[in-house]
Structure 1
Amino acid sequence: MEPIDVEALSQYVGKSIGFSRWKTVTPELISQYADTINDHNKIHLDDAFAQSRGLPKAIAHGYLVVSLIPELLMELITFESGILNYGGDNLVFKKPVVAGAAIRLEAGIFEHKALRHGITKVTFDIKIYSEWEAKEELAVIFQPIFLFIKK
Structure 2
Amino acid sequence: MKTFETLADLAACVGQEVAVSDWLTITQAQVNQFAQATGDHQWIHVDVDRARAGPFGEPIAHGFLTLSLLPVFFDSSFDIRHSGMGVNYGLNRVRFTAPVPVGSRLRARLTLLATEPIEHEGLQMTWSVVVEREGAAKPVCVAEALVRRYP
| TM-score, length of structure 2 as denominator length | 0.89
The within-5 A match list for 1:115-134 is: 115-131=118-134, 134=135
Measured in 1, the distance between the counterparts of 2:43 and 2:3 equals 39
Secondary structure of 2:140's counterpart equals: strand
1:126-149 Cα deviation digits (max 9, x unpaired)? 000012xx4453110001101112
Partner of 1:40: 41
The within-5 A match list for 1:1-151 is: 1-5=1-5, 6-79=7-80, 80-131=83-134, 134-135=135-136, 137-150=138-151
| CA distance 1:135–1:147, change in 2 (3 Å) | closer
Greater CA deviation, 70-79 or 138-147? 70-79
Measured in 2, the distance between the counterparts of 1:93 and 1:21 equals 20
Measured in 2, the distance between the counterparts of 1:136 and 1:47 equals 25
1:12-35 Cα deviation digits (max 9, x unpaired)? 211101211110000111111111
Aligned residues: 148
Measured in 1, the distance between the counterparts of 2:91 and 2:2 equals 26
Root-mean-square deviation (Å): 1.6
Secondary structure of 1:12's counterpart equals: coil
| TM-score, length of structure 1 as denominator length | 0.89
* Alpha-carbon shift at residue 59 of structure 1 (Å): 0.5
Percentage of identical aligned residues: 24
Higher strand share: 1
